[in-house]
Amino acid sequence: MRIAVLGLGTVGRHVVAAIDSERELFRSRLGEEIEVSRILVRDPDKKRPQSMQDRTTFAAEEILADPDVEIVVELLGGFEPARSLIEAALKAGKSVVTANKEVIARAGPALSLQAQPGADLLFEAAVAGGIPIIRSLQESLAGNRLQAIYGIVNGTTNFILSRMQQAGASFADALEEATRLGYAEAEPSDDLDALDAVRKISILASLAFGGWVDVDAVAKEGIRNITEVDIAEARSLGGVIKLIARAEATPEGLTLGVSPTLIPLGHPLADVQGAQNAIYVRGEPIGELIFQGPGAGGPATSSAVIGDIIDAARSRRVGGRSVALPREPAPLVPLGRHAHAYYLRLRLRDEPDALALVAQAFARAGVTLRSVRQPMHLGGAATISLVTGPTRRAQLEEARLALRRSPAVLAEESLILAEMEPV
């Protein structure tokens, strides 16, 4: 079976090298040989191994028009031209394997509608690298009524938060280290500002809850404002701060969001370190499941891509997989409509009645306080950290308004969700 690979970056090279070198393994697993017959590249002059160079082309049309190519593996990244090429391949009756979360999150259902019968669209590598979460949601867990998914699905931000936690590093220093070690890209905004995690949780939620999610409607907050003080305070409060992507089925609709979240030590996601990913799934009848593994990088991503290639090859022999993507839009409900705990750090005027005034402001808004810590005095000002009891966002905003007007409060320095699950 002949396949074409579009894009020869880190993942593309891993995939081509693995298929070239493991012919025997694939034949034994699949009963036939797989061969990468064509490779689409953008830069003709780039240095490549000769064996790969011999198969390169700059003309996507050649690949799309080649009737011998049965599977197209899209590893270009970015929205266009990747989306158009995937569409053209599916229309031409070729199966497509992609690691492109942007294309799947924005255009997955539309693309799956374009596919000729027998042409599959597979994207295990688009979410959480080598962790088999897509196939698990589409197949193994398909008989469940899922209730919640919580995930650490961005390795870059988890690496940075882990370094801040373990080494007491500042955000800037941890980012610099992540860039140096290759965990952060030169332009890391998609990771740091949570857009990458939004795409991933949107895909997972769409599969888990059976309606397609509009990524632009998902609430998101990145990690740029997390300071080493917050990390230290979180520890004193018995927790850690992680960038949590969440999707919950509530009676009013789906709640989706990505934000830094203070979770207690002992939670299965609290101990996920470095560039690892982990996904927690809860449903009926399954109960709770946890998947953990490498979420990014050439080797892990190529594992998922190759698994999909094998699946696509098997499936072509029997006429297609027949796993449909949901097409109806999923109604979203803002997270703030549910009661959550929040962590706040405030800078107060260093006066005896400051804390009393703060407590009063919360009490008047009907917000209870679960814990208050007053760790530091800095020349005329004091910092306090506090965690609220369960409160809806509207109530919290009322308290924040009162705090801003209070003569006791100099500034609100942090506001972080302090409970993953609605209370």
**Catalytic residue numbers, as ranges:** 200
CB of 397 to a copy of itself, least distance (A): 37
Q: How far apart are CA 19 and CA 312, in angstroms?
A: 14
The site for a copy of itself (CB under 8 A) is made up of 14, 18, 22, 25-26, 28-29, 31, 124, 130-132, 135-136, 139-145, 210, 268, 283-294, 298-300, 302-307, 309-311, 314-315, 317-324
Residue 189 or residue 322: which is nearer to a copy of itself going by CB? 322
Q: b/e map of 400-419 (b: 16 or more CB within 10 Å)?
A: bebbeebebbbeebbbbbbb
Q: Which amino acid is at 328?
A: E
Burial pattern 367-381, b for ≥16 Cβ within 10 A else e, equals bebeeeeeeeeeeee
Contact criterion met (CB below 8 Å) for 326 and 403 = no
Alpha carbon 70 to chain centroid, angstroms: 30
CA 13 – CA 351 distance, rounded (Å)? 63
Rounded-to-integer distance, Cα 299 and Cα 14, Å: 7
Cβ of residue 350: shortest distance to a copy of itself, in angstroms?
43
Report the alpha-carbon angle 238-239-243, nearest 5: 175
d(CA 267, CA 289): 13
* Cβ atoms of residues 94 and 29 within 8 Å: no
Nearer to a copy of itself, 136 or 385 (CB): 136
Helices vs. strands in the chain: H and E counts, helices first: 15, 16
Least distance in Å: CB of 133 to a copy of itself? 9
57 or 273: CB nearest a copy of itself: 273
Of residues 260 and 295, the one with the C-beta less far from a copy of itself = 295
Give the residue ranges of DSSP H helices in 115-193: 133-135, 155-167, 171-180, 189-192
Q: How far is CA 257 from CA 67, 113, 329, 389, in A?
A: 43, 27, 16, 20
- Judged by beta carbon, residue 87 or residue 311, the one nearer a copy of itself is 311
Give the whole-angstrom CA distance, residue 25 versus residue 194. 38
**CA 317, 128, 256: angle at the middle one, nearest 5?**
110
C-beta atoms surrounding 179 within 10 Å: 15
| Tokens encoding 214 | 């509009």
Closest approach, Cβ 118 to a copy of itself, in A, equals 9
* CB environment 58-73: b (16+ within 10 A), e (fewer): eebeebbebeebbbbb
Between 124 and 196, CB nearer to a copy of itself: 124
Which is nearest to 96 in space by CA: 381, 332, 252, 312? 312
